[in-house]
Homo-oligomer: A and B are copies of this chain.
Amino acid sequence: MVSFDRVAIIGLGLIGSSLTRAITDKGQASSVFGFDGSEAVRAEARDIKGFGAEITDTLEEAVSNADLVIMAVPVGAVGALAEELCPYLKEGAILSDVGSVKKSIIDAVLPHLPETCYFVPGHPVAGTEYSGPKAGFSTLFEGRWCILTPLPNTPRSEVEKVSNLWAGLGSDVEEMDAEHHDIVLAITSHIPHLIAYNIVGTAADLEEVTSSEVIKYSAGGFRDFTRIAASDPVMWRDVFMNNKDAVLEMLGRFTEDLTQLQRHIRRGDAKALEDLFTRTREIRRSIVEAGQETEKPDFGR
């Protein structure tokens, strides 16, 4: 069932190119247009069979007359993009996004939003470690959460149109305050990524252990971290630049807890360690039960 008549996706990386495919495959719009600032990306997208969107040559062509425009560019680029596209938005159009941080995006977009248009910020909690227009696929959002952080003044009817679109792509939709979103994501996503990046970097710098040894014996736990650490560098750079307060708060807590663990190890406190490890096993079980994870051993690899 069509949620919108005409949709425009701006930014054709992993998320943008999954949106074009998903919206088209699941019949959520009558027409889908796509644009990317890079000519090379536009050319690549045009060559992909079943990409799900007509690729325009200019931003204006994509945005004009669109009922919904979704910005799917790195978080740090959203403000400049909003400034450029807002003059082309038709009256009553809904602008949305998919960024992993919400408060800083809202602050960057609102100054440019025309009075007659609406901004419904969104964040699909989904992705893989791959990038680019070929990386997208239409089932990426199925069974995943999409968090919307609507602004207080936005009419419910407009929020629900966006909500219905995401439901049509297979997601469960949740709404929350933008600041709360940024804290939740700091711990469930941003800090895990930071930690993964850090450990891969630490391993790469060792003198006594060669990087080929690290790579060879990575099945011992390290390789799980490296998947996250292979995520798009620009996207993640922008996330940390734009969710600084929440990230630093969570990092502080993480480090306090780690110091305590270090202490247990130095002092040989076996019981304290076993207690923590038993507790964390239960949390894992809860995630499998909540349907957010496979129970296949080793992720089914």
Contact = CB atoms under 8 A, between A and B. Distances in A.
Contact of A202 (B145, B253, B265): B253
| Chain copies in complex | 2
A227 to B, nearest CB: 7
Contacts of A135: 297
Contacts of A129: 284, 297-298
A216 interface: yes
Contact of A180 (B144, B208, B262): B208
A128 B298 contact: yes
Contact of A201 (B223, B279, B292): B279
B234 A274 contact: yes
Contact of A248 (B226, B237, B266): B266
Given A192-B224, A197-B261, A222-B192, A216 B280 contact: no
Interface in A259-298: 261-262, 264-266, 268, 270, 273-274, 276-281, 283-287, 290, 292-294, 297-298
Contact of A221 (B189, B218, B262): B189
B273 A236 contact: yes
Interface stretch (A27-35, A51-59, A161-169, A239-247): A239-247
Contact of A251 (B189, B209, B262): B262
A43 interface: no
Contacts of A251: 258, 262, 265
B219 A241 contact: no
A186 to B, nearest CB: 9
22 contacts: A125-B219, A129-B284, A129-B297, A130-B297, A145-B217, A187-B209, A188-B203, A188-B217, A191-B199, A192-B220, A197-B261, A197-B280, A199-B254, A214-B283, A218-B287, A219-B292, A224-B227, A224-B228, A226-B287, A226-B293, A229-B283, A231-B277
Interface of A: 76, 100, 125-130, 135, 144-145, 147, 174, 180, 183-185, 187-206, 208-209, 211-231, 233-234, 236-238, 240-241, 244, 247-248, 250-251, 253-255, 257-258, 261-262, 264-266, 268, 270, 273-274, 276-281, 283-287, 290, 292-294, 297-301
Ranked nearest first, the 9 interchain pairs of A and B with the lowest CB-CB distance are A189-B220, A230-B284, A233-B277, A192-B221, A128-B297, A299-B299, A229-B280, A200-B280, A237-B274
